[in-house]
Structure 1
């Protein structure tokens, strides 16, 4: 698949690579870093081909034949009177922990020739967090690098205290030379003298093996379900098929609650190819009618990482569901808090929502029985550390070393007043209260029907009813006739008009009349761009169409809203939003991006992409399945 900056991105088995139009890697950083990546680290930061001392140019730029394979056609530079001596057909692919490359040199000369082929290889072992465009620097005391020549290639080792990563490059045939690269400190140039007969050809096969810290054997693969491609031509079907293919690409192996391997959807590429609480939960919920096994795997993986102790650095608390897990060097040495980071107010109630939804959809009691104690601990967290007992709502305090906001709009400034001021904690965001209400209601049903604990069910139903009444009183803004985005630490209504209100329709915390008014309001032009509902209504002071959470439009956010519209019988509104999203997908090769810019559909012939969007991204990939479910409800 092709990235937005014309680089090509290849993905398979929790491994991804990004190369330029000629198949090279130059070690870029920022929005779209290139390289070979596995477990939050870059295992190849330079991959530069020359033939007879010159860099070949792309006659056919690298293009994805499949999601994990790219082809390009290159030649040394020539002129009309002196055409190139060779044509290079380059095929690259990724699989679990590997990049493979096949170079086929074809001679264009009528006499035998010998081609000098050189590949310059560099490995920086950079942590993904070092590659972000935020100018942060992380000290690495005692780090050392070693490079060893082997009979058939070269090995790059990186050590720091108990941390050890390795990248191995193997050539067939074996390289004739290995030299330091004068223009790339720490890199090595492998060379081959390849003989080509008159109009003949020669082949060179290269394999790059990434061995992250803690992985002693080959990277695990994930079994994928066989997908059938429909002959139907409608855009929703095509978008669903592309979405399922992307979910497959993002599926990674994670250890489940009983030590089994659970195949779960990671959040997205390039930054989030790892288990994420709310992302994996909502993705699994969207897929539930079609792939219930994904929900079961996600629930098991999150139960395995459920909080047990109090840790102020990671935000861990007993019963809390993890926000994200990381496997890189910086997390290992706790230079970032994200090894297991629990800074999410919504993952815990969403865990409970998915647990009941899985039982409701499949009728299978086994998962609910297996995870009963985990569910009860999640409920305990909502009342205790989550804030229901103390504040009457699920709340969070901004984490200065982690996430300022701990709902799905987790960027700084996203939970704001109409004047753009960030709310201060403890913050109670509106959609999290809806999730809490739904979680309490659904867990009460599990307690009654599966766990045979009617007193517990009664307690949860009473708590849910009280929360629903309290919410309608405290969050409804009479003048705006709309729910507040949040309550701040002083109980003030954060009065920015935000799409979070649509999640309240999905959770059922609003009565039918209030839900109807919210649904109709979300379809007015300041909210609905024609492609999707914006995160903030246009015209407000903090609105910006290219802001991450203050004016852009997110497909998954809209999917939740469409499910809520369908729940309340708002058929016209649900179909309008679904049609806009499907039309947007058609302009992106039937792949919905993570985020769309908030510009109105009348302003451009196609949706404007958000410049830092992940692609593929799990809950965007699952969005068309949620739309299909909602449309079937109407």
Structure 2
């Protein structure tokens, strides 16, 4: 069974992440260990003092890369009820390993001799082995100059330390014989060498860190935590270290994911157009060029995921380079347009025009496999992803009675993405002086087909179906997918109002965010991966869409549901959490196998900020718009020093939602 993650301590700097118990011990259970590039290198790191494990009393995760743990040493020190000796374990993760400082602190009247021991082991298990709940065989370490090393193929992990280090079978033992008096600091380091890794750590790509102040401190806590997590997830291809993107999430998806990396970059605008540019170029280099049913590659299609090896788990077998996604291509086009509007330099935009035209070739032609005018997917291999939208679990597409839809499947939101992509591409191409004939007509025809085919009327109301199944029947469950249609131009203002009202109803958004499926649907479960859980990025996408469609009050209300939920997770938003509402629980509960941190969940906080400010930009046109919801959902809100168009933007609103200050960079004006 897939191991659970919700109660683990996490420290990361991509492509390395360390999972441990909240006591700091790494026991090799489930996902515990140091993972690097889809391999678990260190699987055990257990500290004892005189054979006793410290009794845990606290754990902290002050930043993405750091964690600290405090445990009592009750067998040492003065007699009496008050502990006088404890151990603090300070962990720092780097892109190529980790270091720990063991801080032995004594307030006892007399010093005491003791032995601090750290036992280490490594199994080099692949990520799919871990995800299946299995363990790898331990790799036997060997002494080398300056330390002790584990090696498997071209990958090695080396421990260096100030301790007495010995090899004991398939484990390494580090021993410090010390006197517990005052404070004693002990150190060890693990360094990873991985010359064949696909990715290197991404530099901080001008990921803006403006000063943000709000009356509601929950919001600033969420934003600050999210920015440090997003920074910790940054990666780049080894051959192109300047093109940075966000790895999707730790531990299962700490690699390039087309859809996830695109949405993370899009939601994070305007905090970094550099992240958008790096993501666009990285995916453009992997854009499909040929027809390959084994990988799903097609000319113009954008990649789904890239790993160091094939990924095989629970009967699913995905090639290392896999194109099984129906939406990433349109999302690539939309990000290119949005990044241009936020100020991506024109020369960088022009360099991607050939890739844009290739993407349009796929969108307007190859995406429609059966000629019905809609984009659909079908896994022809029998061992790939059965569902290839963002809700890609096998049971994600269900009718209102809970019946699963048979493929090929045409998802509602994908038609919206494609419509938006084609119109945005036409706008961009025209602005660049490039031909854009036929794109507006294609979008108009799609709009008419969608209106006549997708809309259903049920006891829940009148809304677009989740999808069309293989027999072209509307899949009539009420889901969050319909929210993604807002702002794409595929629905008109009146239809958008109908959708908005349903999205904010108690069946979909009872208080902690947007459920993936309404609680009234037959397939609903609050602990289903895609049929009732809450995904922060999904909520943020819909918040963004509501705002762009003119429903700012609803956008603010839904955004505040995420702010209220964030405290339950230490303001470090997970990939998803359980879809219980306030009628069931007092605070949100975890989905226990959820990745944490997750790039698009972290980027969601940036979208909340731009929504609460009503901030939009059109740098080519020289305008910035600030039109906040009224009243402000987080009270008075001030942002100082947001980099924009070669300068910085300062903006402040009061609790009523009135703009009280707006300083724009030279050359920009209020729109």
Instruction: Normalising by structure 2, report the TM-score.
Output: 0.83
Partner of 1:477: 456
Distance 2:527 2:425 in 1: 39
Distance 1:540 1:78 in 2: 56
The runs of 5 or more residues in structure 1 that have no matched partner are: 181-185
Please, which of 138, 142, 151 is the counterpart of residue 148 of structure 1? Answer: 142
Contact 2:507–2:519 at 8 Å: present in 1 too? yes
What SS does the aligned partner of 2:244 have?
Answer: strand
Partner of 2:289: 308
Distance 1:204 1:335, change over 3 A: farther
Distance 2:453 2:430 in 1: 30
Verify: 1:417 aligned to 2:394, yes or no: no
Distance 1:406 1:431 in 2: 12
Relative to structure 2, which stretch is displaced further, 150-159 or 103-112? 103-112
Partner of 1:165: 155
Partner of 2:40: 42
Relative to structure 2, which stretch is displaced further, 555-564 or 269-278? 555-564
What SS does the aligned partner of 2:533 have?
Answer: coil
Partner of 1:326: 307
Pairs within 5 Å for 1:192-591: 192=176, 194-196=177-179, 199=181, 202-212=184-194, 214-215=196-197, 220=201, 222-223=203-204, 225=206, 227-234=209-216, 235-254=218-237, 259-328=240-309, 336-362=317-343, 364-387=345-368, 390-398=371-379, 400-453=382-435, 457-479=436-458, 480-591=461-572
Contact 1:119–1:191 at 8 Å: present in 2 too? yes
Please, which of 590, 593, 606 is the counterpart of residue 609 of structure 1? Answer: 590
What SS does the aligned partner of 2:89 have?
Answer: strand
What SS does the aligned partner of 1:605 have?
Answer: coil
Partner of 1:627: 608
Relative to structure 2, which stretch is displaced further, 493-502 or 245-254? 245-254
The runs of 5 or more residues in structure 2 that have no matched partner are: 615-626, 630-671
Contact 2:277–2:344 at 8 Å: present in 1 too? no
Distance 1:231 1:469, change over 3 A: closer
More strand by share: 2
What do you get for the CA RMSD once the two structures are aligned? 3.0
Distance 1:191 1:329 in 2: 40
Distance 1:117 1:81, change over 3 A: closer
Distance 2:420 2:438 in 1: 14
Give, in angstroms, the shift of residue 565 of structure 1: 1.9
Verify: 1:177 aligned to 2:177, yes or no: no
What SS does the aligned partner of 1:118 have?
Answer: strand
Distance 2:23 2:513 in 1: 36
Give, in angstroms, the shift of residue 561 of structure 1: 1.7
Distance 1:404 1:286 in 2: 27
Distance 1:485 1:106, change over 3 A: closer
Instruction: Normalising by structure 1, report the TM-score.
Output: 0.88
Contact 2:77–2:84 at 8 Å: present in 1 too? no
The one-character-per-residue Cα deviations of 1:377-416 (angstroms, maximum 9, x if unpaired) are 1111223431177231111003632211100111111112
Pairs within 5 Å for 1:70-109: 70-74=67-71, 76-78=73-75, 87-105=86-104
Contact 2:165–2:173 at 8 Å: present in 1 too? no
Distance 1:242 1:214, change over 3 A: same
Distance 1:255 1:308, change over 3 A: farther
Aligned length: 603
Contact 1:96–1:221 at 8 Å: present in 2 too? no
Partner of 1:122: 121
Contact 1:418–1:497 at 8 Å: present in 2 too? yes
